Structure 1
């Protein structure tokens, strides 16, 4: 079941698309943590943390753009 506060006239297709966005967000966050090292920062300064998160985000953008540009090669090693 899904609870929503969207208007009653919202189309079913829109509701399904919005519900599936949660899976995409969770998948991206897991990829950021496990594959790209988001959770590996052990520093103590905000500046260091900010640089780490910025680099991880840039790497995620790069990987995502590669995946979108050539979807057949996404699973290739």
Structure 2
């Protein structure tokens, strides 16, 4: 994958993939975000094939990151609660 495509994908995921409150279904959110990512990549002249060659299925990658973010948020919420 080109360096430009890698930088784009990292930046895009960092900006867009965040925990939603209340939590939405990860697969549906991942599908929506994958479509947005593909559209924005195309606008910037980045071929979808370049991204897929490196990371495989973009929707699966985004779903995985959403799960990580949700777990981090849940752990942070749990650790912020005062001890009884």
**TM-score relative to the length of structure 1:** 0.42
Structure with greater helix percent: 2
Q: Which structure would you say has the larger Rg?
A: 1
**TM-score relative to the length of structure 2:** 0.39
Identify the structure with bigger relative contact order (alpha carbons < 8 Å, sequence gap 6+).
2
